[in-house]
Amino acid sequence: MSTATELIHSIPVDPLTGAISVPIYQTSTFVQEAPGVNKGYDYARSGNPTRATLEQLIAQLEKGTVGLAFASGLAAIDAIVKLLQTGDEILAVDDIYGGAFRLFTNVYEKFGIKVKYVDTSDVTNLLDAITPQTKLIWLETPTNPTLKISDIEAIGKLAKAQNCLLCVDNTFASPVLQQPLALGADIVIHSATKYLGGHSDLIAGLVVTKDAELGAKIKYLQNACGNILGPFDSWLVIRGIETLHLRVKQHCASAQTVAAYLTQHPLVDKVFYPGLKTHPNHDIAKKQAKGFGGIISFTLKNDTEEAAVQLVTKTKLFKLAESLGGIKSLISHPANMTHKSIPAEKRRSAGVQDSLVRLSIGLEEAEDLLADLEQAFIAIQQTKQVLQQA
Ligand SMILES: *Cc1c(COP(=O)(O)O)cnc(C)c1O
């Protein structure tokens, strides 16, 4: 059976009523027959049937054993960091999601957890940086926003040899394109806010582990710390996942078209998209993923913040907003938006140049997206000419 068919039919029909859509169990507690005798649920922080359906679904999609749903992607990341002890080190991808950087550095360093950031697209950088204290390797692949690709299988072997956990933030690829647990990762996390939800209408995070015992430890933290996803948002993520395969297919196809257009545009300097043969890790992306995703970033020929800011305010279909993975195309300027909390020097050395623009390709027709970008490029060129004449 194809994975799409399997996915659609893995969302259960309600055994009680036959409802074809998963019921939303909007309840805080569950009546018990006798103390401790219940139908599998006692209090909704510890477990809720709607959330449990989502948790089983994501575990199945990522080919793991335990799935857990959190109030946000960052709450999911936070639960993983809480597996560590004072003195432990995290080795993280340098081009990391800004919020994860802020959490690791500004929140956890004061508890004595050290973080080192390296370019994980070259495995030798990890070999050089790893120490006996390294207990967690943190990857995003593709990364945000420069779309670097790291070899999950090679890094998984290294993590195993060093007895440390490998966690992959799989937000950009989604399980449709990439399944890190099958490639040797121990944990996968998602900001379900993005492709899994898919409609820019919720904030949610998911964790999946390969090992049941590790999953139980994180489930303990989920209940102990209380960062759970509510039943209605769990239902919205399930509803989003129902069309994930179709959406991701279209995001990938349109992104490839837009990336090709950008590479030949005279105002564009570099284009970052793993689906381009010129991408330095195109072969690894091809080996470990079924597609290249819907995110593209690029820099402008005159690498100025001013030109990038002008461009992102001139598009009409591409809405200027943080986030990604929804049906509407978005445009953003990472240096001023998602990556503002990273110090400028560190940001630039991780490849986030001042003129870098990021696109999240939505589900509009690709030719309409090309026309929108074209009119924005023409508009900034005209402004430049006016400025030069003045
Ligand atoms: C958005 C995002 C997060 C954080 O998720 P939230 O749901 O916003 O808390 C983490 N990682 C990546 C790659 C993201 O894009």
- Tens of pLDDT, residue by residue over 306-353, are 999 999 999 999 999 999 999 999 999 999 988 887 788 888 887 889
* 97 a catalytic residue: yes
* 70, 81, 171: residue to mutate for ligand 1 pocket, most atoms within 8 A of CB: 171
The pTM (predicted TM-score) of the whole model is 0.95
Distance CA 343, CA 70 (A): 28
* 247 a catalytic residue: no
- Percent of the chain with pLDDT strictly greater than 90: 87
Does residue 194 line the site of ligand 1, with CB under 6 A?
yes
Does residue 145 line the site of ligand 1, with CB under 6 A?
no
- Tens of pLDDT, residue by residue over 147-202, are 999 999 999 999 999 999 999 999 999 999 999 999 999 999 999 999 999 999 99
Distance CA 76, CA 164 (A): 19
Please state, as a whole number, how many other Cβ atoms lie within 10 Å of the Cβ of residue 2.
8
Q: CA–CA distance from 310 to each of 258, 304, 389 (Å)?
A: 19, 10, 18
Q: How confident is the model at residue 2 (pLDDT cuts 50, 70, 90)?
A: confident
Please state, as a whole number, how many other Cβ atoms lie within 10 Å of the Cβ of residue 258.
22
* 70, 77, 97, 203: residue to mutate for ligand 1 pocket, most atoms within 8 A of CB: 97
Domains, the chain, with CATH or none = 3-241 (3.40.640.10), 245-389 (3.90.1150.10)
Strands 165-169 and 134-140: parallel
